Structure 1
């Protein structure tokens, strides 16, 4: 494929590990990938040592913070929220850099404490301390011991925002002078990628004057119900021959599934080994899996990236690659089916039958009802169904489409009633209008907030770099775009491999240096002007003092 060798070399240099979407045959896989930042491998090194020579706890040392269960009702008490922390680069007066990985367990994200990431680069440059805080209802940071609908009532964007603010204003960090670095005394920098990048923007909009600066990578700030645009950057940047053939096959399948005879329909189902499946939208929708693999290009190294294998299967015939127009629907349909049957189905579904793995109409299956903690699919789907949407469907009829138009938002909204029947008696659209109105979406306008995006990011059109909503970069709110994929700029090696990503990182470091030089401590805590819920309920003063949040190492 033209340009693939160069791209493969780029990916190999990144050395990333995927956290965005695992292939677990025991879970339902006919659904979109999460929007989480990639994991990063820790550099092989000796003990962690501060700049003054003090040996520090290992990066993976887990600490716990007493976080409020419900910021609207502090009388419900607290839960243990996990975080990782180091003051490897810290010097007095330096910033506190707070990162949450968002909709995944924080286990393994301790690499974001180090200069293998933009977090650590900022800390190293500015003499800062780094923190990775686990998001509520992910990993082991759960207000309750299950993910039932009753428990999830306190799983909202606003509660997550309030968690970040409450942590910054109350945490006593396990480092010298760690009880004296609240946002009135030291500058806090909030960093996130993808959903947590959006959370960075939303927090700075909703709770101004807490975080002095922010860095939002691939931040999906605009909640969108019918997010068909997810596939458009893929169409723009994938090999043209592969794009042409995928569009041709999908158009043919949609036509046959809509107007064809039972025999014609069965022939296509059998072509992909999906003959036993009942619902045609499930069959056509399952083929989105091959396109979703594009997202893993931002975090997958080496020559075995599934998306490359897929395009090669369609476009290389007898050792010859197709021209820009592809081979045409007859060859591509057969080749896609052959690849799906020989390689891809087992990769996606393991030993499960197609209906169990890819069907979406049997509400009795266990993946709908698993309420055990650390089930990130369930926790994320709750936010999707209620507040952000991001349903990844076929494009409008006047726009080229890589995926079936038989799958539309109603397909996903129906599934919300299976996941959360107590919440959704009937299928309803997520409240994206409320989310965008409250947190300003694409129209965010906040000082000292740096946005970093990638041209090849499938989530790009939900960011401030969307093709469908033009925003201009300013010195107070810069927007930098490189040639990377999803959250490419978060990882230091992304800049090593690609000069455009390095330019984004360099620009960010320059702005952080400029902004942080202007920070001036406040004489009094900003929160004293508006007491926190905890302060309002903890009276008299001696009782309040006994209730100050504590931090423990686990």
Structure 2
């Protein structure tokens, strides 16, 4: 067991420029997120790209040594990482020690008496959330209310790592109870370094004396809701954006908003292509092998092939109203599928134009990402259990998947009936087998056969509510079926104490980011930011009223 040390910078990898011999190699945040958190996780490709980046860095280090090059040290970041000593376990008395939980502060808007806004880093490095200090939800709210902004990194993510490996045993402290208690312990014991800000009273920011407002998006959005309901004496209010408060083992509903809101001609072509592809896969070789060869994937088993073919659907979640941080790749995918053209033949079997277009897109935009030196099976195959057993700290793909396998579920197989935009070969057994492959039983912990989603849902599920708890969603978010604003959740009305907002043409936590000039934001985004500011100001007025009592 290790007590993690604090790092204050994250190495950019594109282009790959090593600054020191011991630099940590990571995939760019956008690549990491797209491969692991948008739709079905693509672990094989993630591992192949990381290995390629590691080899390139090693090669550059060798070249720099041979040429005796000198690299300039990185400039001081605008927001420096700070360290909070957090217990490795809040509940296991047999485990001693602490680890450094990273956090970042922005006090540029703060005035004495102002609130503290804590943004939960969720299932990624906290460094990837720093933009919200400067031009997102934290900057908007703090600027409007003289607040102090905090980004808190989640245990195990980024450099807030309490262990020496990511084995099954060492991951046993990565669970909802420990992570929620981290945030509570942080809020209750927080004292900013004097080098960052001077307080007239050391206890000025204690939650007895200052209102704390918790914000999170997606998984972190569920955590924001849980913090408000479970720690009401510490968290005065919370905004839960795209908050997945309902956990579910089997989650084919992820694809429903895509089918409902995607371009009609595109969705029709995907559905037609999937029917044709599945029909050919049902045929004996060599016909099915020839079909897979059109996609550049002839080496794969049928289920792995079907998984790669479905991977572009994750680009729907990557959309954002700000093109600087969002992706238009889903539209590119649709443009490719609806381009028309001629079909083909495999013997007596007709291959329609939409399948040919699909094959061309996959070969050019997905298969091409497999780095030189890695085989197609290396990048996209899942039938070799050994490839998922590496538990080194660099294998960060293991983190969120461990939470999925133990408590959250969200396996994304094809629906059992009705129209589908993914292959029937994506079964629940296939989409969940990573849990058995990656996390063999340890001495201290065994991953359950089925994720314990009741642990999540007992915290409130679809009906979670409290005063000063807001829910913000996008109407076409693929995760909205798991939120309190799901179409199957009980209907509720918005009030100033229990606000609700549904962003038109919104996907995943669309309110979190912003522009430096808020006047340039789309009207629907300005509206939701103004709405959040207005109810937060009312909540703060309630705090002042309570102080007078």
TM-score range (shorter-chain normalised) is 0.7 to 0.9
Q: How far apart in 2 are the matches of 1:78 and 1:158?
A: 17
Partners of 1:83 and 1:133 within 8 A in 2: yes
Summarize the alignment of residues 44-55 of structure 1 with structure 2, pairs less than 5 Å apart.
Answer: none
Q: Which residue of 1 aligns with 2:382?
A: 360
Q: Which residue of 1 aligns with 2:498?
A: 477
Q: Which residue of 2 aligns with 1:109?
A: 129
Q: Which residue of 1 aligns with 2:9?
A: none
Summarize the alignment of residues 111-510 of structure 1 with structure 2, pairs less than 5 Å apart.
Answer: 111-114=131-134, 116-174=135-193, 175-177=197-199, 179-258=203-282, 260-277=283-300, 279-298=301-320, 301=324, 305-317=328-340, 330-347=352-369, 352-365=374-387, 368-373=388-393, 375-397=395-417, 399-422=418-441, 428-437=449-458, 439-475=459-495, 476-482=497-503, 483-493=505-515, 496-510=520-534
Q: How far apart in 2 are the matches of 1:425 and 1:442?
A: 29
C-alpha change, 1:58 and 1:94, in structure 2 (3 Å) is farther
- Give ranges in structure 2 of 5+ residues lacking alignment: 1-28, 48-75, 343-349
Q: Which residue of 2 aligns with 1:46?
A: none
Partners of 2:123 and 2:157 within 8 A in 1: yes
* Residue 40 (structure 2) pairs with residue 28 (structure 1): no
Partners of 2:340 and 2:353 within 8 A in 1: no
Q: Which residue of 2 aligns with 1:544?
A: none
Partners of 2:120 and 2:220 within 8 A in 1: yes
Q: How far apart in 1 are the matches of 2:521 and 2:489?
A: 30
* Residue 66 (structure 2) pairs with residue 60 (structure 1): no
Q: Which residue of 2 aligns with 1:528?
A: none
Alignment deviations for residues 42-94 of structure 1 (CA, whole Å, 9 cap, x no partner): xxxxxxxxxxxxxxx96421110011111113661211111100211111111
Deviation at residue 376 of structure 1 after TM alignment: 3.1
Q: How far apart in 2 are the matches of 1:302 and 1:84?
A: 21
SS at match of 1:507: helix
SS at match of 2:85: strand
SS at match of 1:189: strand
Summarize the alignment of residues 509-548 of structure 1 with structure 2, pairs less than 5 Å apart.
Answer: 509-520=533-544
TM-score of the aligned structures, taking structure 2 as reference length: 0.79
Partners of 2:79 and 2:106 within 8 A in 1: no
C-alpha change, 1:20 and 1:121, in structure 2 (3 Å) is farther
C-alpha change, 1:73 and 1:333, in structure 2 (3 Å) is same
TM-score of the aligned structures, taking structure 1 as reference length: 0.78
Q: How far apart in 2 are the matches of 1:100 and 1:19?
A: 21
Partners of 1:235 and 1:243 within 8 A in 2: yes
Q: How far apart in 2 are the matches of 1:302 and 1:83?
A: 23
Q: How far apart in 1 are the matches of 2:84 and 2:46?
A: 36
Alignment deviations for residues 407-465 of structure 1 (CA, whole Å, 9 cap, x no partner): 1222233211111112597982211123202x112110111011111122221111122
Partners of 1:137 and 1:374 within 8 A in 2: no
Partners of 1:473 and 1:480 within 8 A in 2: no
Q: How far apart in 2 are the matches of 1:232 and 1:173?
A: 45
Q: How far apart in 2 are the matches of 1:188 and 1:408?
A: 44
Partners of 1:226 and 1:393 within 8 A in 2: yes
Deviation at residue 218 of structure 1 after TM alignment: 1.2
Q: How far apart in 1 are the matches of 2:106 and 2:267?
A: 45
C-alpha change, 1:234 and 1:350, in structure 2 (3 Å) is farther
Partners of 1:246 and 1:332 within 8 A in 2: yes
C-alpha change, 1:314 and 1:207, in structure 2 (3 Å) is same
SS at match of 1:268: helix
Q: How many residues align?
A: 468
Partners of 1:186 and 1:521 within 8 A in 2: no
SS at match of 1:173: coil
Partners of 2:102 and 2:160 within 8 A in 1: yes
Deviation at residue 392 of structure 1 after TM alignment: 1.8
Alignment deviations for residues 473-499 of structure 1 (CA, whole Å, 9 cap, x no partner): 331222201122211111123984422
Partners of 1:59 and 1:85 within 8 A in 2: no
C-alpha change, 1:29 and 1:522, in structure 2 (3 Å) is farther
Q: How far apart in 2 are the matches of 1:284 and 1:139?
A: 32
C-alpha change, 1:311 and 1:70, in structure 2 (3 Å) is same
Q: How far apart in 2 are the matches of 1:409 and 1:30?
A: 22
C-alpha change, 1:329 and 1:425, in structure 2 (3 Å) is farther
SS at match of 1:154: coil
Partners of 1:23 and 1:348 within 8 A in 2: no
Q: How far apart in 2 are the matches of 1:125 and 1:19?
A: 34
C-alpha change, 1:276 and 1:26, in structure 2 (3 Å) is same
SS at match of 1:492: coil
SS at match of 1:317: coil
